[in-house]
Amino acid sequence: MSLAESLESAAEAMPEDAEQIRPANGDPFQLLDLLDDAAGVRVLAWLFVNQLESGEELASAWLEEEEGAAIVVSVPEAEIPKPGRKALRRLVHQARSRGIDVVDDASGVPHVGRLPDLNEKISMGHVSPYDPRGGRLVYIVESSPSGGARVFEALLDADRGIVDFQVYRAGRRQVGDFVRDLTRRSRFPAVEADPGSVRALISRHRDVQSPDLPLPKTFSEWRVKLGLEGAGILTPGEEVRSELGDEIGAGSIDALVAEVSEGRLGPWPPKSAFLEKIVILLLDEFSSVDRDDHALEARLNEEVQRLYAEGDTARVNAERFEETAYMFWRGGENGLAGACLATADRLRGGNLEVGPVVAALIVGVRSALQQELEQKLGWAEVADPVGSSSIENS
């Protein structure tokens, strides 16, 4: 019987603890989060009596956390059959070797022993750069009420909202390794951010969730404990705006154009549906006229610039540039950070002249659309069936 099945049996046998057991879905560490110390002892004792293999599995997992190891030590042996007592003693020995023991009061009731360094609070946030499609990962790491740390990981997209959401447990000794891995990745290394500002990012993406994309189930389960309702908290990009002040207009636009042109930023293509509309519009215009490459190129450029300068595409790219300003600012590149903020302001200002940075962002998408149109109009000199995939992959 699997651990999840055994825990369901425990929930049926102990209705007073069932509401805390079932939401964990068999995850040992989520169960440790949900149960208080006394309930943890009850559940583990029941497993050692009734489902020994699952009891050993749960206890072995809990030994990875100081709080879990303390619960293992506190399980009373009196009512456990001999095979279970033997297994429990082996696990208790492992826990005690880490410095955790039982503290008895005058009544003889065991209480959970705790290590002295558990009071140090963990609270940190990290944000990654945007990937080429315009999504990014953000993280919040905080102390878990049951010991160790909880890691909240969210995949955010300004177009779609919260795309994915995961919660992990980590021991205190694992947190440092985790953070080093985040910040030293060869691709999309994260930088530290205030946890409140990361919560603000998650909250704002929740508020613009696409109707075509339901909120992830894990997010719905954890949103209360995540604590998103912080009025007045700035996102990382907004923090940079307040820090730079007059430097926003003095950014190095040419350097930012190079970041885009050389593929280190963007291309963040618009929604496929928007690109499809341009294709349909221009096919209608040019299907009954003689071939005119220059006219097609001019009209295509006009429509693509309009797409990037107006509506949702302008809004989401403005947000991406503003939040990218934080990444440059943390790296000490205030000029690039200011250029990002100036570009964001231009996109929000309704100016149909998109400017050099967004013009560089458009190049790849416009090229793919031109191939698409030339193929469908029969103007392509080489038969290379681009099809709709050129839009989807641009």
Are 252 and 359 in the same domain? Answer: yes
Are 218 and 308 in the same domain? Answer: no
Q: Supply the pLDDT for residue 393.
A: 46
- Domain assignment of residue 320, given as a range: 239-392
Residue 392 has pLDDT above 60, yes or no: no
Are 91 and 29 in the same domain? Answer: yes
- Tell me how far apart the alpha carbons of residues 221 and 88 are, in angstroms, rounded to a whole number: 33
The tokens for 180 are 């080093």
**Nearest by Cα to 358 from 295, 315, 299, 297:** 315
**Nearest by Cα to 365 from 301, 314, 316, 309:** 301
User: Within a 10 A sphere around the Cβ of 255, how many other Cβ atoms?
Assistant: 13
Residue 231 has pLDDT above 60, yes or no: no
- The alpha carbon of residue 202 and the mean position of all alpha carbons in its chain are separated, in whole angstroms, by 8
Q: Supply the pLDDT for residue 112.
A: 42
Are 300 and 386 in the same domain? Answer: yes
Residue 146 has pLDDT above 50, yes or no: yes
Are 361 and 375 in the same domain? Answer: yes
The answer to whether 237 and 326 are in contact (CB under 8 A) is: yes
Residue 98 has pLDDT above 60, yes or no: no
Note the pLDDT tens digit of each residue in 37-49: 889 999 999 999 9
Q: Supply the pLDDT for residue 250.
A: 58
- Domain boundary among the residues 194, 218, 233 is at 233
Share of the chain above pLDDT 70, in %: 87
Minimum mean pLDDT among 65-79, 145-159, 242-256: which range? 242-256
Q: Supply the pLDDT for residue 299.
A: 96
Are 387 and 249 in the same domain? Answer: yes
Are 43 and 84 in the same domain? Answer: yes
| Cβ-Cβ contacts under 8 Å for 103 (sequence gap 6 or more) | 110, 111, 112, 113
Are 328 and 252 in the same domain? Answer: yes
Angle at 366 between CA 360 and CA 370, to 5 degrees: 150
The residue ranking higher by pLDDT, 76 or 118, is: 76
Are 113 and 138 in the same domain? Answer: no
Q: Supply the pLDDT for residue 251.
A: 67
Q: Supply the pLDDT for residue 118.
A: 42
- Tell me how far apart the alpha carbons of residues 218 and 162 are, in angstroms, rounded to a whole number: 11
Residue 113 has pLDDT above 60, yes or no: no
Are 284 and 374 in the same domain? Answer: yes
Q: How far is CA 46 from CA 30, 41, 73, in A?
A: 18, 9, 15
The residue ranking higher by pLDDT, 112 or 276, is: 276
The answer to whether 106 and 192 are in contact (CB under 8 A) is: no
- Number of domains within the chain: 3
Q: Supply the pLDDT for residue 97.
A: 60
**Nearest by Cα to 41 from 118, 116, 110, 119:** 110
pTM of this structure: 0.68
Mean pLDDT of 261-274: 94
pLDDT band at 202 (very low <50, low <70, confident <90, very high): very high
Are 152 and 106 in the same domain? Answer: no
- Domain boundary among the residues 215, 233, 251 is at 233
Mean pLDDT of 342-359: 90
| Cβ-Cβ contacts under 8 Å for 337 (sequence gap 6 or more) | 240, 244, 251, 325, 326, 328, 329
- Domain boundary among the residues 185, 207, 233 is at 233
pLDDT band at 363 (very low <50, low <70, confident <90, very high): very high
Mean pLDDT of 244-262: 85
Minimum mean pLDDT among 158-167, 191-200, 352-361, 375-384: which range? 375-384
Mean pLDDT of 189-214: 94
Are 216 and 129 in the same domain? Answer: yes
Mean pLDDT of 136-153: 88
